[in-house]
Each structure stands twice: as structure tokens, then as C-alpha cells.
């Protein structure tokens, strides 16, 4: 899930000396893919509603300059019985400065709060690219990043327990 040095960029907190803070230094599209394999036939209306498969992944790593890099990967595949309509994958990145957060709490901040800041921008990119592909804008529902983080953490803990 993360490749972070818990001490990097996470200064030790003193008794109330520094309030926790997150500063977004940059956001960018690292990778974007859109496939519309059955165009223009798939663009005709009147067919059944497609089945949608969604994927969400978050990763974070510390940087040598003391900042943190966070990646949010969103994928969506729309499919009907006769085949795929579209496939979109977005790897959206951000660089963050985190202050006033104890080292043991940095991972949840990076994998819950940072993606929460990035999500509206990534959501808009996916809506725009599906619209540009000839479909109605695909608007992702809000994501519970805390729930995704906790589920992945439990899965990782379970795998470690079995090893």
C-alpha cells in the first residue's frame, strides 16, 4: 500500500506546537487510457443499461525532499451482454506536504485524506473523457476512502497472519 519512511516529512509533534496540516503542492495526470472498442455501434441508444465495474487503488511514497507523492488509480469498465462499451483508467498523482502529524498516523492521512482532496479532479477527468468518447458523462459516486483503506489494511493483515 505504501512505500514511505515514517520519519520523512513527518516532524515529531511537540505538545500542541504545530497543528496538523495538509498542503497540496501539485496534482497531475500520470496515465490516462480510454478505449471505445465498439464505436460507433455502441453509441446507439435503446439498448439495456450496461454493467459497470469500478476499481479504486491508492498508493503513497515519501520523497527525498520531505514531501509525499500519492497516486489515485480509478478504473471503470462498462459492458453489455454483447461486449464492452468503454474502458477508462486514470492514474492521478499529487504531491503533498504533511505537517504536524505523528509518524504512526501518516499512512492513514496519505491514503484517506490526500485521495479525498484529489478525487473531485480525477472524477471530472473521467466524466470529460467518457463524454468526449460519445457517452453521457460517467460521474463516479463519492468514494469512502476510509472504508477502502480499512478493507485493504484488513486484507494485508490477514495475508501477513497466514504467512
pLDDT mean over 74-91:
93
> What are the chain's domains?
2-162 (3.10.420.10)
Percent of the chain with pLDDT over 70: 87
Mean of pLDDT over the chain = 88
Percent of the chain with pLDDT over 90: 67
Candidates 31, 61, 55; CA nearest to 143 is 55
What does the block give as the cell for 122? 480525477
Model pTM score: 0.82
User: What is the Cα–Cα distance from 152 to 7, expressed in whole angstroms?
Assistant: 23
The model's confidence at residue 108, banded by pLDDT at 50, 70 and 90, is: very high
Amino acid at each position: 500500500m505504501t512505500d514511505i519512511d515514517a520519519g520523512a516529512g513527518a516532524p515529531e509533534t511537540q505538545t500542541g506546537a504545530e497543528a496538523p496540516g495538509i498542503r497540496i503542492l501539485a496534482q497531475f495526470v500520470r496515465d490516462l487510457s480510454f478505449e471505445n472498442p465498439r464505436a460507433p455501434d455502441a453509441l446507439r441508444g435503446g439498448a439495456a443499461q450496461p454493467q459497470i465495474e469500478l476499481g479504486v487503488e491508492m498508493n503513497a511514497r515519501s520523497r527525498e525532499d520531505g514531501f509525499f507523492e500519492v497516486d489515485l488509480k480509478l478504473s471503470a469498465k462498462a459492458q453489455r451482454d454483447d461486449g464492452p462499451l468503454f474502458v477508462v483508467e486514470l492514474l492521478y498523482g499529487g504531491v503533498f506536504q504533511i505537517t504536524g502529524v505523528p509518524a504512526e498516523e501518516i499512512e492513514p492521512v496519505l491514503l484517506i485524506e490526500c485521495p479525498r482532496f484529489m478525487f473531485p479532479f480525477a472524477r471530472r477527468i473521467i466524466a470529460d473523457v467518457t463524454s468526449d468518447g460519445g457517452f453521457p458523462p460517467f460521474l463516479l459516486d463519492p468514494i469512502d476512502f476510509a472504508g477502502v483503506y480499512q478493507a485493504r489494511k484488513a486484507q494485508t493483515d490477514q495475508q501477513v497472519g497466514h504467512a
